[in-house]
Chain A
Amino acid sequence: MTHENQKIARIANALLEYFLSNDAKGLTLSISEDTKSAYISLEISDITLSSHESEELIEHLYMERQEEMEEYYWHLLGNDSETEEISLIGMMVDEATVQYNYPVMKIDLVRHF
């Protein structure tokens, strides 16, 4: 639970930064938590990604959680980066769901404490 709030804030920030850099419009972010998990949800009303880009986005977000490395790398989230940043988000969450029906995208992330 160390720095848990900062980690959730960084995940949300990195997601926002990534989509804003990709000219996304109409972003709605919500964060909630219960005793066991934090839930981050992002809805985008207008985003254009090629099929290759959306596939890679899903691939990186669906990466297995890597708790063993978290204390080392979480400070990197939110800095300027490209491929690696989305992988980092994937490594910091337990569940990820991405739904993309052009131009609308919905991302749900769950991080267990």
Chain B
Amino acid sequence: MAALAKKQHQQNKYRKRNFYLIQMFPIFIIALANTMDSPQNIFDGFRKMIFSSDILITDYVELAGLSATLINASLLFMAISFLAYRLQIKLNGMLIAAIFMTVGFSFFGKNIFNVIPLYLGGYIYSKIQKVDFKNIFVIIIFSSALAPVVSEIAFGLSLPLYYSIPASILFGAFCGFIITPLSANTIAIHDGFNLYNVGFSAGLIALVINSIFKTLGINLKPSQILSTEHSLFFFVMLCLLFTLFIVVGFTLSKLSFKETLKKYTRIFHYSGKLITDFTQLEGYGITYINMGIMGFIALLFVCLTGGLDSLNGPIVGAIFSIFGFSAFGNHPKNSIPIFVGVYLCSLLHLWDANSTTYIVAGLFATALAPIAGRYGIIAGLFVSFLHLAVVTNLHTVHGGLNLYSNGFSCGLIASIVYPIFNIFSPSHKKRKV
């Protein structure tokens, strides 16, 4: 008993130390942001951010300025990591993916106002269902895909604020309430082959809400606010972050370069299908190395598609999402076929391959990486084409209310293709661990 108490004390000590250590990152970004702009401009930027409808695609860098956007991302990062710390949630692959996806989308759609009602709804669900809030917390982090629902009702419908704000909080809480049971069911539809599963369930909810809006005569206008001014800043920031993770990962692995490389290639054996938590399967060192490498591969893809000169909020956000999900399914072997597929599709001239929409769709197509991981390269190339075809036509369905539009598309595609691929796959006849 004494030994157990000592072990728990030791774990709490490490958890506390890691929590304080991880806070250095947002504090540094906030300090940096404050040196780049005046407090008045940052305040005005925040005001614009919070009072916008946030429908896809609203690039906060253009709307509110770089400093306000960086502070928004840092505040969300700090808030989530503080809650995770208070709830004593282990830092696993899913939590890492959720944190970095939220940080990514805090560049275009999520802010400290519009995510709160969704968290509130999740909390009410946990109380009614008598489930520990920490057991659904990570799903609730992902549920902020529906943050534009809150912003749109509050500020986009031209209603008096004393009606619209309470209505937006109620609607947001309702979405947060239903997303947990819905996501648990949608995951079975595609059998875990779509990494952005909450994007799929959020897409279904957004589809219903948008249909109700249309029935009431409210037609949501798509947004296309994009920045192009800060490409160099983002490029340097991302390169530093990815390098840092590779160095930290290598240090944590405590192995020689050759041994680390050998251990790293082990993760290529995993298809990446949900739930593939690299932190549990291969340890934190290898996970961080994979995150850094995948970050660089995503940057290389952006470079090849000609997006490096126009690195903006949505592209940076998509890179952050891949970075996070590289702790939870994405690795070079299952993701490169998807990138190659998207790149080959650009040669067909069916879409504007240099546009932000195309690049972002291409990056998020890696949600289908488990298909390539399980069924091979050709399957990966095929689904990347399907994803581009579907996602570019989905906006009219959900009206931009679902930030994870690509997760919705990937969910639809995975649900359709995986049972078909199973017919031709010999591996399903005999299982292997």
The verdict on A34 contacting chain B, using a C-beta distance below 8 Å, is no
The verdict on A37 contacting chain B, using a C-beta distance below 8 Å, is no
* Cβ–Cβ contact B134 & A68, under 8 A: yes
Counting contact residues on chain A (CB < 8 A from B), the size range is 35 or more
A14: shortest Cβ distance to chain B, in Å?
Answer: 10
Which of A18, A60, A75 is most buried by chain B, counting CB atoms within 10 A of its CB? A75
Chain B hits for A76, CB < 8 A: 187-188, 191-192, 274-275
* Cβ–Cβ contact A72 & B431, under 8 A: no
Contact with A along B74-95 (1 / 0, CB 8 A): 0000000000000001101011
Contact with A along B260-297 (1 / 0, CB 8 A): 00000000011101111100110000000000000000
Partner of B135, one of A57, A64, A71: A71
In the assembled complex, the Cα of A79 lies from the Cα of B415 at a distance in Å of 13
Q: Given known contacts A76-B187, A76-B274, A88-B275, is B139 in contact with A71 (CB within 8 Å)?
A: yes
A19: shortest Cβ distance to chain B, in Å?
Answer: 9
Q: In the complex, what residue of chain B is closest to A69 when comparing beta carbons? A: B94
The verdict on A21 contacting chain B, using a C-beta distance below 8 Å, is yes
The verdict on B129 contacting chain A, using a C-beta distance below 8 Å, is yes
Q: Given known contacts A68-B89, A71-B180, is B135 in contact with A81 (CB within 8 Å)?
A: no
Q: Given known contacts A66-B277, A69-B94, is B433 in contact with A75 (CB within 8 Å)?
A: no
Q: Mark out the residues of chain A between 53 and 72 whose CB falls within 8 Å of any chain B CB in the assembled complex.
A: 53, 56-57, 60, 63-64, 66-72
In the assembled complex, the Cα of A76 lies from the Cα of B275 at a distance in Å of 9
In the assembled complex, the Cα of A70 lies from the Cα of B305 at a distance in Å of 39
The verdict on B231 contacting chain A, using a C-beta distance below 8 Å, is no
Which of A2, A53, A69 is most buried by chain B, counting CB atoms within 10 A of its CB? A69
Q: Mark out the residues of chain B between 95 and 140 whose CB falls within 8 Å of any chain A CB in the assembled complex.
A: 95, 129-132, 134-139
Q: In the complex, what residue of chain A is closest to B183 when comparing beta carbons? A: A72
Partner of B275, one of A2, A23, A56, A84: A84
Q: Mark out the residues of chain B between 14 and 45 whose CB falls within 8 Å of any chain A CB in the assembled complex.
A: none
B165: shortest Cβ distance to chain A, in Å?
Answer: 30
* Cβ–Cβ contact B131 & A64, under 8 A: no
In the assembled complex, the Cα of A68 lies from the Cα of B280 at a distance in Å of 13
In the assembled complex, the Cα of A88 lies from the Cα of B132 at a distance in Å of 20
Partner of A72, one of B184, B270, B428: B184
The verdict on B185 contacting chain A, using a C-beta distance below 8 Å, is yes
Q: In the complex, what residue of chain A is closest to B191 when comparing beta carbons? A: A79
Q: Mark out the residues of chain B between 395 and 431 whose CB falls within 8 Å of any chain A CB in the assembled complex.
A: 422, 427-431
Q: Given known contacts A22-B431, A84-B273, is B191 in contact with A72 (CB within 8 Å)?
A: no
Contact with B along A73-110 (1 / 0, CB 8 A): 11110011111111110010000000000000000000
Q: In the complex, what residue of chain B is closest to A56 when comparing beta carbons? A: B433
Chain A hits for B197, CB < 8 A: 72
A84: shortest Cβ distance to chain B, in Å?
Answer: 5
Contact with B along A8-37 (1 / 0, CB 8 A): 000000000110011100000000000000
Chain A hits for B271, CB < 8 A: 82-84
* Cβ–Cβ contact A69 & B187, under 8 A: no
Q: Given known contacts A53-B432, A69-B138, is B131 in contact with A74 (CB within 8 Å)?
A: no
B46: shortest Cβ distance to chain A, in Å?
Answer: 32
* Cβ–Cβ contact A60 & B135, under 8 A: no
Chain B hits for A64, CB < 8 A: 280
In the assembled complex, the Cα of A79 lies from the Cα of B433 at a distance in Å of 15
Partner of B433, one of A2, A57, A74, A91: A57
* Cβ–Cβ contact A79 & B280, under 8 A: no
In the assembled complex, the Cα of A97 lies from the Cα of B363 at a distance in Å of 42
* Cβ–Cβ contact B131 & A2, under 8 A: yes
* Cβ–Cβ contact A75 & B187, under 8 A: yes
Q: Given known contacts A21-B431, A22-B431, A86-B433, is B184 in contact with A71 (CB within 8 Å)?
A: yes
Given pairs A75-B187, A80-B191, 10 additional interface contacts (CB within 8 A):
A21-B430, A23-B430, A68-B90, A68-B135, A70-B135, A72-B184, A81-B191, A83-B270, A84-B270, A87-B281
- Which B residues form the contact surface with A (CB < 8 A)? 89-90, 92, 94-95, 129-132, 134-139, 180, 183-185, 187-188, 191-192, 197, 269-271, 273-277, 280-281, 422, 427-433
Report the 7 A-B pairs with minimum CB-CB distance, sorted nearest first.
A21-B431, A75-B188, A56-B433, A57-B433, A73-B275, A79-B191, A82-B431
Enumerate 20 A-B pairs (CB-CB under 8 Å) in ascending A order.
A21-B431, A53-B432, A60-B433, A67-B135, A69-B138, A71-B180, A72-B139, A72-B184, A72-B187, A73-B275, A74-B184, A76-B192, A79-B192, A82-B431, A82-B433, A83-B269, A84-B192, A85-B431, A87-B275, A91-B275
